[in-house]
């Protein structure tokens, strides 16, 4: 099953991807992850991406699509995959559609996690992470036993630079301008399904499972 998770940053895509991985045994494909993996592995596309990054430039869509092509061709994607955080623009969606057509595959379902902006700001700005072990907490929904201290290793929790209110609002603005139009793009292709992302995590999971059957 080929699935795409769609929604604003902080809507819960990463959390739901983990449930889908457990249920269907298919890999999550996050552009950030596969970009880092391609660079580390020294693939042709990875080296191309590194060249742009070393020059302080954005990695072009053509290179990202090339890296995704390499990833989709790997054996663990034969039974399906979960796209998370890509595509982000209409041109990327069109390029992905062309690539998948060439590979003889298509998206079975796009799941849109709908969460209002004001709730997303609260979700992200309340997030705290452990720089030592990587554990993640939330000051309201998943608070540590001792305020500001990691439950697992005892290190001091920090707020990521990306998780400040100013940065979150900026990211949401970019999402609404560049990425939100993809909702209509995939609705026109009859693969879009909507889920209320404000529900409890387990309820969102069950709603997604019902859609996917």
Of 50, 69, 109, 171, the active-site residue reads 171
| Structure tokens, 6 | 């769609």
Closest CA to 35 of 85, 82, 80, 107: 85
Q: Among this protein's residues, is 69 annotated catalytic?
A: no
Distances (CA, A) of 30 to 39, 77, 88, 132: 14, 13, 12, 23
Q: Among this protein's residues, is 88 annotated catalytic?
A: yes
Q: Among this protein's residues, is 51 annotated catalytic?
A: no
Distances (CA, A) of 53 to 37, 141, 182: 14, 36, 26
Of 50, 69, 88, 199, the active-site residue reads 88
Q: Among this protein's residues, is 132 annotated catalytic?
A: no
How many Å apart are CA 109 and CA 6, to the nearest integer? 10
Per-residue burial over 165-178, b = 16 or more CB atoms within 10 Å of its CB, e = otherwise? eeebeebbeebeee
DSSP conformation letters of 143-202: --SBTTB-TTT-PBPB--GGGSHHHHHHHHHHIIIIITTHHHHHHTTT-EEEEETTS-HH
Of 13, 71, 123, 205, the active-site residue reads 13
Of 71, 123, 127, 205, the active-site residue reads 127
Of 160, 161, 205, 210, the active-site residue reads 160
Q: Among this protein's residues, is 36 annotated catalytic?
A: no
**Residues annotated as catalytic (active site), given as ranges:** 13, 88, 127, 160, 171
């Amino acid at each position: 099953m080929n699935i795409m998770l769609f929604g604003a940053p902080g809507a819960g895509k990463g959390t739901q991807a983990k449930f889908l991985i457990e249920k269907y045994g298919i890999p999550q494909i996050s552009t950030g992850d596969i970009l880092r993996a391609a660079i580390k592995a020294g693939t042709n596309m990875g080296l191309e991406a590194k060249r742009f990054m070393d020059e302080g430039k954005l990695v072009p869509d053509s290179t990202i699509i090339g890296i995704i092509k390499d990833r989709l061709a790997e054996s663990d994607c034969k039974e399906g995959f979960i796209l998370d955080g890509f595509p982000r623009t209409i041109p990327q969606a069109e390029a992905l559609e062309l690539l998948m057509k060439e590979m003889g595959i298509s998206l079975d379902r796009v799941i849109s996690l709908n969460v209002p902006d004001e709730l997303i700001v609260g979700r992200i700005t309340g997030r705290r992470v452990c720089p030592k072990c990587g554990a993640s907490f939330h000051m309201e929904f998943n608070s540590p036993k001792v305020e500001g201290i990691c439950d697992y290793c005892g290190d001091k929790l920090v707020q990521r630079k990306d998780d400040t209110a100013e940065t979150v609002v900026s990211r949401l603005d970019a999402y609404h301008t560049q990425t939100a139009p993809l909702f209509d793009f995939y609705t026109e292709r009859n693969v879009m399904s909507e889920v209320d992302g404000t529900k409890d995590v387990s309820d969102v999971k069950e709603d997604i499972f019902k859609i996917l059957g």
